[in-house]
Chain A
Amino acid sequence: MSDWTALGESFASKGYIASPELTMALHIALTLGRPLLLEGAAGVGKTEVARTLAAVKDTRLIRLQCYEGLDAAHAIYEWNYQRQLLSIRAAAEGGETGRAVEDRIFSEEFLLQRPLLEAIRQETPPVLLIDEIDRADEEFEAYLLEVLSDFQITVPELGTITARSIPHVILTSNGTRDLSDALRRRCIYAHVDYPTREAELAILAARCPQVEERLAHQIVGFVQALRKEDLEKKPGVAEMLDFAAALAGLGLADLTADPVVLQASLATLLKTEADRAAIASEVAQRLAGTAS
């Protein structure tokens, strides 16, 4: 057995069923020490990859959630201004010299670490998840590139901090904007799609073992059919699991048994009003009927 299939299996043992494409991309990214860029629709389990990787490697997961207007102060480091001011006041009363105070307030003690700095200062390589990078501004993306290629951060008052260990970096993107070529180029790429029928069955079996096999087949068939319908927001894997948990909780053994319960439990799958309207009870029944 080769390394990459072993990786796939250790992922499976933690409850994440990865496609061969994703497994290979992960394997390459880990062995070459390159960041991994995951793209795909919302709800296909991109963020979960990082969580599972942290579990497999038995290491910390450090997460940086990107948003519009994210800046260096929130991503890398910031000085603890309040503490600095307090200590200046205290120093003034104590009669300390200006030079000594300056040295003291620009020391490690007053530095607030943000995810990027924290990630490169770990002793054991952590998993650094940079979530929804497409939401951050292009300027931040450019800065991130620098960090990802050198793994060092310069704090003007302290000097350059070099990584103690190279973190396993995973970036995710929902495609709200096109990422720069430079970033794509730096990363190993994998496109995460909705899982195939077999993969989704395996996911369901791994995450919700209490669901019986017949119902599991129906649930997966139903959700897969639902994704083919004309919906504003297609149900992802997480929604499918919620749906399965809801049905199991309601004690339903057959999807077609009770139209009212089915329609009610659709609340876990369809999250907009238009989608609810599009999948009327009859449609749901038809899909459930063909799914089994």
Chain B
Amino acid sequence: MTRVTRFAARDPGPAARVVGFMAHLRENGLKLGVHETATALRALCEIDAIDPRQARLALKSVCAGSADDAARFDDLFDAYWLNEGRVRQKVVRDATRNERHSRSSLSSEGESAASGGRIHSPDDGSKAEDVSAEGTGRLVATTARNLMKRDLRELVDPADIAEAERLARRLAAAIRDRRSRRRRAARKGAGIDFRRLVRQSIATGGEPFALPRRRRPDRPVRLSLLCDVSGSMTVYARVYLAFLAGLIRADRTADAYLFHTRLVRITEALRDDDPLRALNRLTLLADGFGGGSRIAGNLDRFARTYARQFVDGRSVVVILSDGYDTDPPDKMTAALTRLKTRGCRIVWLNPLAGWKGYEPVARAMAAARPHLDLFAPAGTLAALAGLEAELSRI
């Protein structure tokens, strides 16, 4: 019990501490509104709130809203309530700002990109010299720098995201706009379903009462994007991450992952209302950024885990990678075959493919080619924009 946080003496009471805890959760990306705070307080009244175990379980059931949240909750709880006597200064801080980030306000407009969110990560060093080197994100063949400890905020700025968002929305529309060839019964529709009309009118003595209609249903395509952020890809990371961020914010059903030596799902992080904070969360997730690349291993992992949940016959999986892999090529074949069994289409965008005289000689790339529905160059935002026509064909 000695681990329990000692609060400042001027702290007004338990209710304010819970409010402070909710603010703490909000800052860490849990989407909670005012209503949840009230529920949390009511829940605490229903149990023996002095017992940390009960309080933890009760607050968890109220505050967590997804499996990810539930997994993170214990650490957040410890950090606030059990931080070994460190006094926390402001209990309620800046409530108006937090309000903006409460649930249900997922704004997909670019305007939120302009609003300056606060950066919550404490380390902010080593920024100055690299910014100019980033350039405009054009395809440049510089020697790869070691970005092991690099902050993603340096790589992408909100203006980029706003630009990428516009582009991503167009591309997503190009890929997603799929109307079925068949027609199905619908409440509102272009044409009258005569077959059904006649059948139904029999029941009413040959008089057509209801006019059943039909239309072509939408068959939206789901996008899953896997972005390689290994060492060899760092020069393109800026463009691709902006693209990913834009796409996720523009398309509610899209899904994004980063991989280097591990695979990380970043969809939730990128959906954060505040683009800067989204990047912060990304930085925390992308631990090992710029490290080695295990493309086949990660694709295999994707096919075995997330793909089961999020990829089906109406999905397009987009892989953004240069194909320099440390895994053996036959593993790549196996991984893509496994992914293909989900019935999806696979697009591989390779930044190097834009180079004059490029041949997919990287062994992994050569192994992957037969399984791809589209293999295209994409090193810059402009190049990505050029893909609109091709993507709408696959």
Which of A's residues lie within 8 Å of B, judged by CB?
2-4, 20-21, 24-25, 27-29, 31-32, 34, 39, 81-82, 85, 175-177, 181-182, 184-185, 188-191, 230, 232
Contact = CB atoms under 8 A, between A and B. Distances in A.
Given A2-B48, A32-B42, A25 B61 contact: yes
A182 B103 contact: yes
A28 B64 contact: no
A189 B66 contact: yes
A81 B204 CA distance: 10
B79 interface: no
B58 A28 contact: yes
Interface in B193-207: 203-204
23 contacts: A3-B46, A4-B54, A20-B53, A21-B57, A21-B61, A24-B54, A24-B60, A28-B47, A28-B58, A28-B61, A32-B39, A32-B46, A177-B253, A181-B65, A181-B106, A182-B103, A185-B33, A185-B36, A188-B62, A189-B61, A189-B69, A191-B64, A232-B308
Contacts of A27: 46-47
A191 B48 contact: no
Contact of B31 (A3, A28, A181, A189): A181
Interface of B: 31, 33, 35-36, 39, 42-43, 46-48, 53-54, 57-58, 60-62, 64-67, 69-70, 103-104, 106, 203-204, 253, 304, 308-309
B67 A191 contact: yes
- The B interface, classified by DSSP as helix, strand, loop or mixed, is helix
Contacts, number: 78
B213 to A, nearest CB: 15
A194 to B, nearest CB: 13
A21 B106 CA distance: 29
B51 to A, nearest CB: 9
A24 B62 CA distance: 10
- Nearest first, the 10 A-B pairs at minimum CB distance are A24-B57, A25-B61, A184-B65, A31-B46, A191-B70, A181-B103, A28-B43, A191-B67, A188-B61, A28-B61
B46 A28 contact: yes
A191 B69 CA distance: 10
